[in-house]
Structure 1
Amino acid sequence: MATTTEAMDGASALTPPSLSSRAKARMVSALLIAPLILFLTLVFVLPLGGMLVHAVENGEVGAALPGVAAEMRGWTGEGLPPESAYAALARDLKAAYGEPRLGEASRRLNYERSGYRALLTRTARSVRAIDRPQAGWAAELTAIDPRWGEPATWAALRRASPPLTPYYLLTALDLRMDNNGSIARAPAEERIYIDTLGRTLWIGFVTTLLCLVLGFPLAHALVSLPRGFASVLMVCVLLPFWTSLLVRTSAWIVVLQKEGVLNGLLTRLGIVDAPLELVFNRFGLYVAMVHILLPFMILPILSVMKGISPSYMRASASLGAHPAVGFLKVYLPMTLPGVGAGCLMTFIIGVGYYITPSLVGGARDQMTSYFIAYYANTTINWGLSSALGAILLACIMLLYATVGRLIGVGRIAGIQ
């Protein structure tokens, strides 16, 4: 009995150090991955969150014209607003005259209806000299500019006043909100973003398919060939990583242009009578993108193929299966995680390209990334730039969910 008690006491004495060592191990693990989590948060999570916020953020009008924004919240939108809205507008314009916030509000309102910048500037300059209008602010502002007597002017101001807006997301989908608050399609001459998104996804799909057709046999060759030759081939696969993206893209312009190397060779061999249009079109874009993205397809497939034993194919052959049947039913299914990872990586990188389509593609080959960069850098329209990025992100996440459902997220990530 005493021996049993001593054994139990000894076991209980060992338990706290064991639990303490596990807690220390967890703490050490957390500290080791903390820099990675911080890095991902700073360079991935926060920028994406900022993009999503900018896609619906709408604080310009409220910051410059707070009184009008408050009046617009209580206005039904029918006809013209009450006299108090006109008075609030006059007060806000007097307070904001000459300040940058009025220019930001004018730019935001210009998205809703052109001409608002000149309208606000002219009205703000005029109301500064008026203290007490004799006939009321509604009559005074309408006398300054007749557009203040139009319901459409106030309807645009009402749509732009809330702190959050669907305007940018609707515009990115070729939609708009009319004066009644209903969603309608944009005019035919303004519908460009859905076509651009479709073109972006199609270019990404074709590029991914071409990379798969070329990359799968190359990955298989890297596994099957002798080590020396496979090493040389691997250097060729990794060679694009050793030069900058801009240099690689510019090199294809030299090779594919009318006076380039390829057209010169074809002409000397008598294959063509006149130089071919091989660049600044869709063909040149596909060639350049496949060259750049091919390693992103090969490497994931190669990592999976290295873990497949050759004995599986020999076993299928010993059971009477034709090599083609063995490949389709034994080998190919085992490579699907690598194929899925390679296709996802290639497609995601491809649809986000900006430099290559701009340099090698034609005017009709520009992708969504071109408009994202244009609105972010040229017109400083962060809202529309973020909305286009959010729509593209949603398409990529939908694709990722679809592929993950078919193949398995764990298998793609290599944890199953």
Structure 2
Amino acid sequence: MPGSHSNPSGNGDNGASAPLVAADGRPLKTSLRRALFKNKLRAILLVAPLMIFLLVAFILPIFSMLTRSVESNEVATIMPTTSSALRSWDGEGLPDESVYAALAHDLKEGQRNRNLGRVASRLNYEYSGMRSTITGTARRITRVENPDSWKDTLIDAHRNWEETNVWRVIKRESSGYTLSYYLAAMDMRYDADGSIVRQPESRRVYVDLMIKTIWMSLLITFLCFLLGYPVAFLLASLPMRTSSLLMMLVLLPFWTSLLVRTTTWIAILQSQGILNNMLVSMGIIDDQSRLQMIYNEIGTIVAMTHILLPFMILPLYSVMKSISPSYMRAARSMGATGFTAFRRVYFPQTLPGIGAGAILVFILAIGYYITPALVGGESGRFITNFIAYHMQVSLNWGLAAAIASLLLGLVIALYLIYNRLVGSDNLKLG
């Protein structure tokens, strides 16, 4: 009719459209948000066990190690009165009588609670002779009550209490945190006035050993590449049935104990071992010139190369197996020689496998300590052997944690450099 207006949508008055609804009658947007939330919750629940495992087995131990490397609460906990009294001391001359009285009180309490050994060991790391100073003084003043001067009494008990440097060490280590462990791990220390100086040359151990560990790990990685690349190439080129059989031989070492594999090399490489006997019997060397190939760097390199070689072969093989042989045939059909085709076509495609294998072998090598301990002797040890020593023998867990933290930081730095130069996207395990 004239003057009337039609509703093109046909959905009601004034052209307003009804909201879209799902099958259950709820608005579609609400149902979609609920479905997405359920999917996210399901995904979180699926990865939760893995995240909990990483938190408990990886993140928390690393956090504990980093905390222990700077933590030094023995003095503040076992000698709280002395720590509090030393806060007002300016570090010049000897403390006043109140500090000596506080020390006497803490020594008596520590002797009664039998926990002086902890603080004595901690201070002995910083100042030689503090263990005997603290324990000896505590025994002598146990029955002393209200003397005319605690200062004279303690100095009579041990002459170290009239050394200003001793009190400076106690004050420095009473803060609860310290850099002493990291300084020791970098062959440095605090001097008498609290400045940071290098250790005497005869006591510089860790920096040189850290450099040596990195160099030997890189050498082992390179040797694994030289030996593993031809093996992986052969496995990838053979028919599947034959390559599978040979792959079993590559994996066979994983079924043998690491200790057995390591001690086998001792029997092979020692002076009266199999290899030297073969060289003597073939006339290559005489009996008086047997080669010393064990309990030195050679033994460590040979044994670890053998142990870590499968970790290089497997990534290389998985990458080489995915490379089509038609690429090499195409290169040869265009006039390239076999070596040129390999160098310019095949080898660049294996770089992701080389990168993955190299990082895997290097990280495993730099963290080994059993094999160097068994076959490395004095010259073939790694920095990890000192970490184990401080954890198990000297019980200096702070220094062990500091060395391990530096090693961890160094590995991360090398990986970041590798990522900058090559790129982690080029890593490929298959």
TM range (shorter): over 0.9
> Structure 1 residue 97: deviation in Å?
1.3
Could you say which residue in structure 2 is the equivalent of 1:50? 64
1:336 matches 2:351? yes
> Structure 1 residue 357: deviation in Å?
0.9
Q: Is the Cα contact below 8 Å between 1:357 and 1:367 reproduced in 2? A: yes
* Alpha-carbon separation, structure 2, partners of 1:100 and 1:368: 34
* Alpha-carbon separation, structure 2, partners of 1:316 and 1:81: 84
Could you say which residue in structure 1 is the equivalent of 2:91? 77
1:281 matches 2:296? yes
**Equivalent residue in structure 1 for 2:125, among 111, 129, 140:** 111
**Equivalent residue in structure 2 for 1:349, among 364, 371, 382:** 364
Q: Deviations over 1:330-363 (max 9, x none)?
A: 3333322221111111111111111111111121
Q: Deviations over 1:278-301 (max 9, x none)?
A: 222222221111110001111122
Tell which deviates more after alignment, 240-249 or 6-15.
6-15
Equivalent AA in structure 1 for residue 79 of structure 2: L
Could you say which residue in structure 2 is the equivalent of 1:258? 271
1:180 matches 2:197? no
Q: Is the Cα contact below 8 Å between 2:220 and 2:305 reproduced in 1? A: yes
Q: What SS class does the counterpart of residue 103 from structure 2 fall into?
A: helix
Tell which deviates more after alignment, 258-267 or 200-209.
258-267
Give the helix-richer structure, 1 or 2.
1
1:232 matches 2:245? yes
| Residues 1:70 and 1:214: Cα distance change in structure 2 (over 3 Å) | same
Q: What SS class does the counterpart of residue 177 from structure 2 fall into?
A: coil
1:387 matches 2:402? yes
Q: What SS class does the counterpart of residue 72 from structure 2 fall into?
A: coil
Q: Is the Cα contact below 8 Å between 2:295 and 2:379 reproduced in 1? A: no
How many residues are paired up? Answer: 414
Could you say which residue in structure 2 is the equivalent of 1:88? 102
Could you say which residue in structure 2 is the equivalent of 1:299? 314
1:9 matches 2:20? yes
Equivalent AA in structure 1 for residue 186 of structure 2: L
* Alpha-carbon separation, structure 2, partners of 1:406 and 1:184: 35
Q: Which entry has the higher C-alpha Rg, 1 or 2?
A: 2
Q: Deviations over 1:67-123 (max 9, x none)?
A: 111233333322222332212111211222143421100000111112212211222
Q: Where do 5+ consecutive residues of structure 2 fail to align?
A: 1-8
| Residues 1:260 and 1:146: Cα distance change in structure 2 (over 3 Å) | closer
Q: Is the Cα contact below 8 Å between 2:190 and 2:197 reproduced in 1? A: yes
Could you say which residue in structure 1 is the equivalent of 2:259? 246
Q: What SS class does the counterpart of residue 74 from structure 1 fall into?
A: coil
Could you say which residue in structure 2 is the equivalent of 1:102? 116
Tell which deviates more after alignment, 261-270 or 216-225.
261-270
1:169 matches 2:193? no
Could you say which residue in structure 2 is the equivalent of 1:367? 382
* Alpha-carbon separation, structure 2, partners of 1:8 and 1:317: 66
Tell which deviates more after alignment, 42-51 or 252-261.
252-261
Equivalent AA in structure 1 for residue 220 of structure 2: T
Could you say which residue in structure 1 is the equivalent of 2:4? none
Tell which deviates more after alignment, 8-17 or 199-208.
8-17
> Structure 1 residue 240: deviation in Å?
0.9
Q: What SS class does the counterpart of residue 184 from structure 1 fall into?
A: strand
Q: Deviations over 1:180-208 (max 9, x none)?
A: 22110001111111111111111111100
Equivalent AA in structure 1 for residue 175 of structure 2: P
* Alpha-carbon separation, structure 1, partners of 2:276 and 2:301: 17
> Structure 1 residue 367: deviation in Å?
0.9
> Structure 1 residue 394: deviation in Å?
1.2
| Residues 1:6 and 1:327: Cα distance change in structure 2 (over 3 Å) | farther
TM-score by length of 1: 0.93
**Equivalent residue in structure 2 for 1:121, among 135, 139, 148:** 135
| Residues 1:146 and 1:228: Cα distance change in structure 2 (over 3 Å) | same
> Structure 1 residue 257: deviation in Å?
2.0
* Alpha-carbon separation, structure 2, partners of 1:410 and 1:18: 35
Tell which deviates more after alignment, 89-98 or 340-349.
89-98
* Alpha-carbon separation, structure 2, partners of 1:394 and 1:51: 12
Q: What SS class does the counterpart of residue 350 from structure 2 fall into?
A: helix
Q: What SS class does the counterpart of residue 365 from structure 1 fall into?
A: coil
Could you say which residue in structure 2 is the equivalent of 1:190? 203
Q: Where do 5+ consecutive residues of structure 1 fail to align?
A: none
* Alpha-carbon separation, structure 2, partners of 1:5 and 1:242: 74
* Alpha-carbon separation, structure 2, partners of 1:90 and 1:380: 27
Tell which deviates more after alignment, 349-358 or 164-173.
349-358
Q: Is the Cα contact below 8 Å between 1:404 and 1:412 reproduced in 2? A: no
Q: What SS class does the counterpart of residue 71 from structure 2 fall into?
A: coil
| Residues 1:26 and 1:141: Cα distance change in structure 2 (over 3 Å) | same
